[in-house]
Structure 1
């Protein structure tokens, strides 16, 4: 009689990145067990997560290839244009889809809709075993494999453990992987508003000295373009003061930030708050262990790239595992994992420091930096090749892309 459950890969964390990892592995022919402290039904509750994610075009290709996108139905909104402005300048930056043959620049998806879609697809795949409402008690890793003892008295044996368990990753901590982290002293408020006029699928990002204010296009339950997700970032002390205000005063400040270009607005959701920090694991692999998504890197939401970077991790990891398995190599061996780390390290480092620099450049009133950003917005907006490159970069179409991000099967 077996003393443990056996699988190819143990995934810790059934969030959006972890669940996508399990599906991608299943499509590539691998078995996996995915565990989480939270039940999937609890993740689908509207109040669980009020955020919406910007899905880059390359990420959409991957999600289509994995049959996750089809599960969304009509629960997404394309972004046709992006308008970026600075409160202290007349200069602006306008990303227009006609520059790229009128393709959408990205897609907005509410996290609750994505969780529902990815969980539905996950549950339909036989190679995946899901265990909820459990934690890991101990993890042992050696030449024979990974042995993880759970709080439900089960033990899992796998060739590889994937830490997809977020910024406070237990898998990372258990492996004693050091973390570079600092607090931005900023907090984001996330909420949803409805407005009188059609947003025409245009996203707006206004930069203020305390942080960016983003208006992201969404649809209401009737499919009309009169709803937007707001990401309102400011210094933490200022956000705490704003949250204590009566609704009437809060809405007044919100209206001032939003403007009247879409007519009257009303708040139609709860308010969620998220403290912001930079964090980067000193390495994303260890013996029979790999980190993906926020467990490996947590970046500022200023460019809306956090989830996309997690998907890029998954696409690279599954491709590396698949290629090495075909050569008869150990999928949890050092050579396999080193290949993954080499592929992802530069991209993750670049995006982390790009978003960090962008936030520091725009979130202040220092005169030399104000001049630099005004010139930067003007030059970028008028220099076609540079603007096109930045658009493709944001869409995830630049660099050495894994097959899944090209819409190709493994």
Structure 2
């Protein structure tokens, strides 16, 4: 559905072609059609997205968003539903890892999350954006200059284009956020997240496992089976291995057999023989949040606005929530004939996202500090707490709804599965 007749065509430039930026581009173009010129700028647009083998959990609310955007049927073909989840807490040397908390994978009649590789999801979003008329520019944005009712966006190739709004989706080290003078609250965790795809002998049966270990959580996340050319089936999972940063270089540079042995200590043998399918890669873990999510004719999106610990698997979903909120606010404003880059419109976005992002940041930071240690009194308290939650169905439903992103009744329409 397009905007009202007679509305002046506006241009919105989105700097950064990650999953949040692509989702925003698709949502705006689907809602406003020819009444908005959506320009996506990122040098990575010239590369094959399938090279990115990282995996992400798509919460139920994000699944509803992709359904509303007409994309979920294609995503579902690539996605593995999480059917249940097990949480353990132990030391690395403990011979037995007792289960303290389990979750069934369904909430309100739907799976609370699906696993999908970043490359597959990016490729599907790119195709959908291309088909609907998003202007995909494989070059970066090097700066901007606000001039009254417009901002001049300078591209890396030397061209300058005028826009009503610039969306900075250029990551945690956002140059555009820095140019706008927006402060960044930041602290490192002295942890790195090692990510890789693992093949294993037995079927994971859709189960996700999170082992809380002294160095940080070790998550095993089920991926869709891969059918090989000879018809054989390869069972696969993604791992997110949080480790003290000082240990990571020696781990990744160790002999393959030694690294395999370290993996087996953490992964366990419940799925039979295991092997690295992709080369492990490490990413430093940190907390970061922008002091403001908006500037003059500028909105921050995804990691440019916030960075959280992956302990709850909510980093991508938080960025998709940004995209859903900003798309709704811009769409509603433009249908009323308002300027999408005006202070009144951008203030709505700031208000819509601040509380949610602050709450998620506090929660993930607290969980990481609580579980990434091996002090006996702390372990006893947290294990008692996990066991208590496991025996209280109402509290378990609250946490699973939180993880699925279904708790808030005032969530953006896309996250409720409604078209803009």
TM-score by length of 2: 0.91
Q: In the alignment, what sits opposite 1:171?
A: 176
Q: What secondary structure, in the 3-state scheme, does the structure 1 residue paired with 2:158 have? A: coil
| 1:116 maps to 2:104 | no
Cα distance, 1:303–1:140 mapped onto 2, change above 3 Å: same
Q: What secondary structure, in the 3-state scheme, does the structure 2 residue paired with 1:261 have? A: coil
- Please list every run of 5 or more consecutive structure 1 residues that lacks an aligned counterpart in the other structure: 1-5
Q: What secondary structure, in the 3-state scheme, does the structure 2 residue paired with 1:39 have? A: helix
2: distance between equivalents of 1:341 and 1:166? 18
Q: In the alignment, what sits opposite 1:130?
A: 136
The answer to which of 137-146 and 375-384 deviates more is 137-146
Q: In the alignment, what sits opposite 2:44?
A: 38
Q: Does the Cα contact within 8 Å between 1:184 and 1:278 map onto a contact in 2?
A: yes
Equivalent in 145, 148, 151 of residue 140 of structure 1: 145
Q: What secondary structure, in the 3-state scheme, does the structure 2 residue paired with 1:290 have? A: strand
Q: Displacement, 1:139?
A: 0.8
Q: In the alignment, what sits opposite 2:83?
A: 80
Equivalent in 349, 371, 376 of residue 340 of structure 1: 349
Cα distance, 1:179–1:70 mapped onto 2, change above 3 Å: same
Q: Does the Cα contact within 8 Å between 1:91 and 1:374 map onto a contact in 2?
A: no
Deviations 1:15-35 (A, max 9, x none): 111111110110111321110
Q: What secondary structure, in the 3-state scheme, does the structure 2 residue paired with 1:219 have? A: coil
Moved over 6 A (4+): none
2: distance between equivalents of 1:324 and 1:45? 36
Q: Does the Cα contact within 8 Å between 1:189 and 1:272 map onto a contact in 2?
A: yes
Q: Does the Cα contact within 8 Å between 1:7 and 1:33 map onto a contact in 2?
A: no
Q: Displacement, 1:102?
A: 5.4
Q: Does the Cα contact within 8 Å between 1:146 and 1:157 map onto a contact in 2?
A: yes
Q: Does the Cα contact within 8 Å between 2:204 and 2:235 map onto a contact in 1?
A: yes
- Equivalent runs, 1:42-57 vs 2, <5 Å: 42-46=47-51, 49-57=52-60
2: distance between equivalents of 1:344 and 1:43? 32
2: distance between equivalents of 1:402 and 1:62? 9
Q: In the alignment, what sits opposite 1:95?
A: 103
Q: What secondary structure, in the 3-state scheme, does the structure 1 residue paired with 2:111 have? A: coil
Deviations 1:206-236 (A, max 9, x none): 0001011110001232195721111111101
Deviations 1:238-270 (A, max 9, x none): 222211210111111111211111111121111
Deviations 1:37-90 (A, max 9, x none): 2234x24142xx331000001101101111232333621100010111101574
- Equivalent runs, 1:11-410 vs 2, <5 Å: 11-29=14-32, 30-40=36-46, 42-46=47-51, 49-72=52-75, 74-88=77-91, 90=98, 92-97=100-105, 100=107, 103-126=110-133, 128-132=134-138, 134-222=139-227, 224=233, 226-399=235-408, 400-410=410-420
Aligned length: 399
2: distance between equivalents of 1:252 and 1:91? 23
Q: Does the Cα contact within 8 Å between 1:177 and 1:282 map onto a contact in 2?
A: yes
Q: Does the Cα contact within 8 Å between 2:15 and 2:166 map onto a contact in 1?
A: yes
Deviations 1:133-161 (A, max 9, x none): x2334311132211112232211111111
TM-score by length of 1: 0.94
2: distance between equivalents of 1:76 and 1:244? 32
Q: Does the Cα contact within 8 Å between 1:7 and 1:157 map onto a contact in 2?
A: no
Q: What secondary structure, in the 3-state scheme, does the structure 2 residue paired with 1:50 have? A: coil
1: distance between equivalents of 2:60 and 2:16? 25
1: distance between equivalents of 2:339 and 2:21? 21
Q: Displacement, 1:91?
A: 5.1
1: distance between equivalents of 2:346 and 2:77? 37
Q: What secondary structure, in the 3-state scheme, does the structure 1 residue paired with 2:321 have? A: helix
1: distance between equivalents of 2:349 and 2:99? 41
